[in-house]
Structure 1
C-alpha cells in the first residue's frame, strides 16, 4: 500500500472507544484480587499480595485521570486488621492507661463536686445522656445521704480510692461494662460523655469550685493553664484514638502519669522458687495492638471527603485483642456511614486470637512463668492450654450486646454486619461456640431486644441464632440476611430454642442476669465444668498467648532495664 494511503488511515485512539468499553477496561485494570489492605509497616494501603497499588493508567492523560478518579476505592474492598508495631507499642499501651485514669478522674471529680449538682442539671436529659444519668444521680444522692446519716463517713477517701488504686497497682484497668447491667465504673462512650456533660454544667455554674477540684487531683493545674476549666475537657483520648508520640507524651505530662509511662520501657522476667521451674531464660514486654476499627477511622480522617464517598466496602478484621475497649470502636465509624450511606462494613472478630485472649487477660504478670516452667497448678486453675469457659462466653456476649449499643448510637443496620471468625479451625469453633453459648443466646433471645433489632435471627428462622457466611472476603453485598450478627463456621442451624430454653423457659428464667447464665450454664452433677480446652493441634493456645509478647534473652538486656516478677506475678521490689 502506498505511503500516502497509510497516512490517510485514522489512528486507533483509546479515548475514541465508546465510554462503556473504556469503563470495562478500567474495571479490569483497577480491580485487584483480594482488594486493598492496610500495611502497618509502610502505613499505607497496598494490594492484598503486599505489592504496591498500580495507578499508572491514571497518569496517561487528564481525561483518563478524571474518568478513573473513583475507580480504586469504588472497585476494591479495603481491609484493615489489628496492628502492632514496635515503635507504636508505648503509644498503644498509653491509650489504655490514659483512658482508665481519665475515666477514674471524671468519677472522682464528680464525687468531689457532688454538692454542686442541682436538679436542673440532670432533669429531662437528652437521649444521649439518658442511659447513665439515673445511675449517676442515684450514686451521688447515696453518698450525700451517707454523709448526713453518719458523721464519721469520710467522703474524701471515696474521692481518692480509685485514683490511688490506679497509681499503686500497675495492672489496674477498666472495662467497657455490660450493657445489660450498667455501672458508674463502666468505661465507654455513653458513660464518659454523661460524666463530661455534668462536669461541664458544674464548671459553668461554679467555676472557682471546679478549678479547686482540678487542683485536688492534678496539683498545679490552674497555675500552668490559661483556661483551667476548658483545658480540663480536652484531657483524654477517644477510645479508638491512635495518637502520635508527641500527643501521648503531652497527655501523660498533663495527667501527671510520667511514672506509669516510664514503666512501659521495662522488661519483665519470672522469678519462681518452685519445683519444676527450670530457671529464667527470657524477659518479656507486652505487645499492644491498635484495633482494625481504630486504624480505619484514622485512615478515613486522613483522606478527603470526596475520596471517602467513593469507598463502598470496608472489612475490619479484628484478629487480635486491642487497646481502648475495642467492642466500642465501631461507634467511631458512625459519622462516616452517615456521610456515605453506600458504605458497607463487615466487622470480623476472631474467636481464638481475640475473644479468648481477652477473656484470659493475657498479661506480663502471668505469661513468663507459664512459658518457662512446668510447675503443677491447682485443679482450680486452668492449665496452660485452657481458659475458664464462663469468662470466654461472657466476652462473646459482650460483643453481641455492645453491637446492640452501637445500633442504638446510630449505626445503620443496613450498613453493618458483625462476623464471629472461626479461623483457623472451623470445626473446633463450632463445638466451642455451641458449648459456650447455647443457653446464653437463648437467654438473650428471651430477655433482650436482640431479635427485634435484627442482631439475632428469629427462633422460628432456619438461620437461628445467626447465619453462616463464607470465610472469603472477596465480596460484601446487601444480600438478604436473617441477622446482623453472622459467623463463618457452621452452628448446625437452626438451634432448637424451645428445647434449649425448656418448658416455659425454665432453663433460662432461673437466672436473672446474663452473667449468672455464663457462670452456671455448664454446671454438671454439682461440679462446674468451667474449663475449656483451647489447644487441639490446629489451635495452639500457648502459641497464641506468645503472640502478645516481645521476648529477649535475659542476658541480652541490661539489668537496669529489667524487673522481676515474684511467684504471685507481682513486681518484685
Structure 2
C-alpha cells in the first residue's frame, strides 16, 4: 500500500496534479485511491467520452499515469494478477492486522468506530455477478462514492464540444445538470449526441439464472450454449469461471461458450466518436478504422487463458468448450490471427535467438528496449495457441488460425542484413502495428450495435418540440 502520483500532459517531471480525492483522503491505499481518481476524472458536467463507462472497471485497475498522459497501454490487469492482488491483501491483513487497519481507516475514515478493517477484504463482487440495485447502493455508501455515478451509464455525449460550456452554467460542481438528458433549452448548442449501449454478458446472465434455481433443478440440466456476440461489462473473458461451481456440482452438465472474435475479443471503442458525430453534419471525414496488433494479441491471450482456467480447475475437457467465432468474416479473422498472433510468436523466438547471437548489436538501445517488451511472450500463450490450432483441449475456432512463421528463416534473414536494415524487415519502429479494418465491418460489428446516435432534429422529433412555435 502506498501513494501514487499522476501527471497530466504539459506537466513536467516533479509536478503533481492534485485530484479532489487527494484533498479528502491524503493517505489512502493505492487501490481505493486509484478507483476514486477515475471517478474524479469523470467531470459531472463535462465531457468524459474518452473514458467510456464500460471500460471504467479495467481503467481503474491500471496505472493511472499512463491514462492521464495519453500513452497507449495494454490491459495487463486481468486474471491471475487481479486474484493475486486480492490474495496478497488478505495475507497482509492476517499477518499485520494492526498496520492493515491503520491504512484502511486512513483510506476510509468514516469506518472508524463503525466497521472492522477486515471487512475491506470481502467488499467485492465477482466479475460475473449481476448485483441488485440495493447491493450496489450499499457498496457506494461504504466507500462514500457520490450518487451521481448512477447517471454515468446513460450519459449522452454531445457535439460540438462547446455544448459543455453551456450545460455547466449556473449548476453547482457537485450536481449534474438536467440538460444532459433533456437539453430542451440548449437546442441551438448541439448538432448531435451519442451514448454507449451497455450490457451484461450472456455468461453472467446464465450464472445468475442458475443461482436462482434449486440444487435439484440445476442437476437436471445437461447442456448450456452461450452466445457472446457483443461486448459486455466487467472483463467478460473472466466470466466463464463463474460456471466452475455448477460444472463441479453437476457431472452431467456440458457448457459451450461461443465468443465473437470481432464482436467481443477485438471490439473497439470508436476512437473518433466526436468526429463521427460531426460527420453527420458533413463537416469532417472519418479516419479509417484499424486494429492494433498488440491489443488484439493481448485480448486473445486473456480470452484463451481465462477459458482454459475452467479446465485448469479440474473440469474435464469434454465438459467445457470455448469457441472463437468469426462467422461470415472468417477470411479477415484468419488474416488478423496470422499477423497479430502467429507472426508475433514466431518473431519473438527469432528475436531471442538474434539477441543471444549478437545479430542485433547494431540497433539503438532504445529500439532494443522497446522490442524487448514487445517480444516478451508468456510461454503459456504459445501453448494455448497450439491447443487452439490442434483442437486438443477445450479451445476451438471456426476459422483458420494460421501457422507459425519459419523462425530459422527469420534469423537467417537477420544475418544477411546489416545495421538498421535488420529493423526494416521484422522489427517494428512502433510498439503497436495497425491493421486496417474494413469500414463496413467496423460500422456493422463495432459501432452500430454498441452506440446510440441522435441528431438534434431526431431529438426534437422524439420530444415533440415545436420549434416553429418557439420561434414565433
**Range class of TM-score, shorter chain:** 0.5 to 0.7
- 2:73 is equivalent to residue 214 of structure 1: no
C-alpha spacing 1:272/1:440, structure 2 compared with 1 (3 Å): same
Whether the 8 Å contact between 1:281 and 1:554 is mirrored in structure 2 is: yes
Question: What is the rounded CA distance, in whole Å, between the counterparts of 1:329 and 1:292 in structure 2?
Answer: 9
Map of 1:290 onto structure 2: 200
Map of 1:281 onto structure 2: 191
Map of 1:243 onto structure 2: 131
Map of 2:450 onto structure 1: 548
Shift of 1:393: 3.1
Show CA shifts across 1:449-491 (max 9, x none).
4676xx4447xxxxxx526xxxxxxxxxxxxx53432211244
Map of 1:174 onto structure 2: 58
- 2:205 is equivalent to residue 305 of structure 1: no
Map of 1:412 onto structure 2: 316
Map of 1:253 onto structure 2: 141
- Structure 1 segment 109-258 matched on structure 2, within 5 A: 110-111=1-2, 156=27, 159=30, 162-163=34-35, 165-170=37-42, 171=51, 173-174=57-58, 187-188=77-78, 190-204=80-94, 207-225=97-115, 228-258=116-146
Whether the 8 Å contact between 2:310 and 2:320 is mirrored in structure 1 is: no
Question: What is the rounded CA distance, in whole Å, between the counterparts of 2:136 and 2:114 in structure 1?
Answer: 19
Question: What is the rounded CA distance, in whole Å, between the counterparts of 1:328 and 1:319 in structure 2?
Answer: 16
Show CA shifts across 1:377-399 (max 9, x none).
8xxxx934333333223322332
C-alpha spacing 1:186/1:433, structure 2 compared with 1 (3 Å): closer
Shift of 1:422: 0.7
Question: What is the rounded CA distance, in whole Å, between the counterparts of 1:418 and 1:231 in structure 2?
Answer: 36
Shift of 1:419: 1.2
Map of 1:466 onto structure 2: 389
- 2:437 is equivalent to residue 534 of structure 1: yes
- Structure 1 segment 362-401 matched on structure 2, within 5 A: 362=270, 366-373=272-279, 383-401=287-305
Show CA shifts across 1:63-94 (max 9, x none).
xxxxxxxxxxxxxxxxxxxxxxxxxxxxxxxx
C-alpha spacing 1:362/1:215, structure 2 compared with 1 (3 Å): farther
CA RMSD of aligned residues (A): 4.2
- Structure 1 segment 494-513 matched on structure 2, within 5 A: 495=403, 497=404, 500-503=405-408, 506=411
Whether the 8 Å contact between 1:309 and 1:340 is mirrored in structure 2 is: yes
Moved more, 233-242 or 389-398: 389-398
Larger radius of gyration: 1
Unpaired segments ≥5 residues, structure 2: 4-25, 43-50, 63-74, 163-188, 350-376, 416-422, 461-472
Question: What is the rounded CA distance, in whole Å, between the counterparts of 1:540 and 1:450 in structure 2?
Answer: 27
TM-score normalised by length of structure 1: 0.52
Whether the 8 Å contact between 2:322 and 2:396 is mirrored in structure 1 is: yes
Question: What is the rounded CA distance, in whole Å, between the counterparts of 1:280 and 1:309 in structure 2?
Answer: 55
Whether the 8 Å contact between 1:346 and 1:419 is mirrored in structure 2 is: yes
C-alpha spacing 1:335/1:161, structure 2 compared with 1 (3 Å): closer
- 2:156 is equivalent to residue 267 of structure 1: yes
Shift of 1:191: 3.7
TM-score normalised by length of structure 2: 0.62
Whether the 8 Å contact between 1:348 and 1:418 is mirrored in structure 2 is: yes
C-alpha spacing 1:449/1:389, structure 2 compared with 1 (3 Å): closer
C-alpha spacing 1:240/1:163, structure 2 compared with 1 (3 Å): closer
Moved more, 397-406 or 521-530: 521-530
Instruction: Please point out which of 244, 249, 272 is paired with 1:334.
Output: 244
SS state at 1:166 partner: helix
Question: What is the rounded CA distance, in whole Å, between the counterparts of 2:96 and 2:292 in structure 1?
Answer: 49
- 2:350 is equivalent to residue 448 of structure 1: no
C-alpha spacing 1:369/1:414, structure 2 compared with 1 (3 Å): same
Show CA shifts across 1:190-244 (max 9, x none).
444444444444445655544442232223123443xx23432331211111111
SS state at 2:342 partner: helix
Question: What is the rounded CA distance, in whole Å, between the counterparts of 1:310 and 1:421 in structure 2?
Answer: 29
Whether the 8 Å contact between 2:29 and 2:103 is mirrored in structure 1 is: no
Question: What is the rounded CA distance, in whole Å, between the counterparts of 1:167 and 1:529 in structure 2?
Answer: 29
Show CA shifts across 1:73-116 (max 9, x none).
xxxxxxxxxxxxxxxxxxxxxxxxxxxxxxxxxxxxx448xxxx
SS state at 1:232 partner: helix
